């Protein structure tokens, strides 16, 4: 099946992960540390054992500060397979009917929700009410209303809500952010984000309005939305958008095929972005200032990410995004570490407000003001 996961996996190529780079000091490579890690370890259960769940599980084998200890699935055969593959004890295995009982399991700290978008809200709130920290894959919900309910539920339960923004820990991304903050690009004027691929199987959940909440925008377009914010360093204040649909048989009502959208930022910068399920070779960010530029292509795939600025290529080893993400999220949850780019529920909520604004702009043909 040709899906976003296949698309991102192809981008990854055959590059091997090299020594991990500190996501908080992207210019300094960490030397291999043979000293056993003695600090706290985040014990994680994965809810949803699909292809991306397995990618996360494989990446967590190399984590020092996070460990896969449990699974939640509606497919018993998958549970058995994962038990054998990852050494998961029976007492840490749940199905979709009984995982509220996780509240009685002291051996699980957090649950990573990796299911279709339309299920995120209910499942995340159930996890929160069970007293476990929530890590939810992006987009965090199908609209801002649901996202706000998730934020409120986690606050009420006094648990953390983090969103799976793996690019927020990617070294080349962080180096460009560092350079922009240091003023090396001057006044930021323009951002372009291109996110898209040709999607396959028309029966998959990503083309189901109820499960996906939309089409390409909810799947791949959110990368350009989020990328525009961390590359420019501001939140947008208005949006305009236009939709093109050439295949209404495949892309039903409420499932977008291609959307172009424009964002305006308080400092005067503008962004021009494309989200599509009908074109390949689209994974590029470009940031332009009055003193320099930065380009990333690929910009959001599983790696290796490639980046350059007006000063030349960015040379950093490829790191496995999900390994770094889960170790850093362990530090955020257990040690209160503050990431350079937020990954909390409020960050995800902002993206959902922009998504809502994009869909409204498509429907009305008007500029929509954003209040994030």
Q: Count other Cβ atoms within 10 Å, centred on residue 312.
A: 7
Nearest C-alpha neighbor of 115 from the set 251, 216, 211, 7: 211
Three-state DSSP state, 108: coil
Encoding tokens for residue 80?
Answer: 């058995």
Q: Are strands 270-276 and 282-289 parallel, antiparallel or unpaired?
A: unpaired
Tell me the C-alpha to C-alpha distance, in Å, between residue 90 and each of 43, 54, 131, 203.
Answer: 15, 18, 20, 33
Sign of CA dihedral 169, 301, 319, 9: positive
**Spatial distance between the Cα atoms of 273 and 279, rounded to a whole number of angstroms:** 14
Q: Residue 260 — left, alpha, or beta (φ > 0 → left; ψ -120 to 50 → alpha)?
A: beta
- Interior angle at CA 358, CA 353 and CA 363, nearest 5: 125
**Spatial distance between the Cα atoms of 114 and 120, rounded to a whole number of angstroms:** 8
Active site residues: 138, 223
Burial 218-232 (b: 16+ CB within 10 A, else e): bbbbbbbbbbbbbbb
The single-letter DSSP state of residue 137 is P
């Amino acid at each position: 099946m040709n899906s976003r996961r296949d698309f991102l996996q192809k981008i990854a190529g055959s590059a091997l992960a090299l020594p991990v780079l500190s996501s908080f000091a992207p210019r300094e490579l960490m030397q291999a540390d043979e000293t056993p890690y003695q600090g706290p370890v985040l014990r994680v259960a994965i809810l949803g054992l699909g292809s991306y769940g397995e990618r996360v599980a494989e990446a967590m084998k190399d984590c020092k500060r996070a460990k896969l200890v449990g699974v939640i699935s509606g497919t018993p055969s998958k549970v058995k397979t994962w038990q054998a593959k990852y050494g998961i004890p029976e007492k840490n295995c749940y199905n979709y009917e009984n995982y509220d009982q996780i509240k009685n399991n002291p051996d699980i700290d957090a649950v990573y929700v990796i299911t279709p978008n339309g299920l995120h809200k209910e499942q995340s709130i159930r996890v929160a009410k069970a007293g476990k920290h929530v890590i939810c894959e992006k987009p965090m919900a199908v609209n801002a209303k649901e996202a706000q309910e998730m934020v409120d539920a986690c606050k009420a339960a006094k648990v953390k809500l983090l969103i799976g923004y793996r690019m927020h820990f990617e070294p080349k991304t962080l180096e460009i952010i560092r350079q922009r903050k240091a003023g090396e690009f001057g006044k930021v004027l323009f951002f372009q984000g291109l996110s898209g691929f040709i999607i396959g199987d028309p029966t998959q959940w990503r083309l189901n309005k109820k499960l996906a909440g939309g089409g390409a925008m909810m799947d791949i377009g959110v990368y350009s939305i989020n990328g525009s914010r961390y590359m420019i360093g501001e939140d947008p204040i208005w949006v305009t958008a236009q939709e093109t649909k050439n295949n209404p048989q495949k892309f039903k009502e409420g499932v977008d095929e291609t959307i172009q959208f424009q964002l305006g930022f308080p400092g005067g910068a503008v962004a021009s972005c494309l989200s599509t399920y009908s074109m390949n070779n689209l994974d590029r960010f470009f940031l332009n200032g009055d003193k320099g530029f930065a380009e990333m292509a690929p910009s959001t795939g599983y790696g290796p990410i490639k980046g350059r600025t007006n000063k030349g290529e960015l040379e950093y080893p490829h790191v496995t995004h999900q390994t770094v993400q889960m170790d850093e999220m362990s530090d955020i949850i257990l040690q209160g570490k503050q990431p350079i780019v937020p990954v909390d529920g409020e960050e995800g909520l902002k993206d959902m407000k922009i998504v809502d604004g994009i869909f409204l702009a498509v429907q009305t043909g008007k500029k929509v003001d954003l209040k994030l």
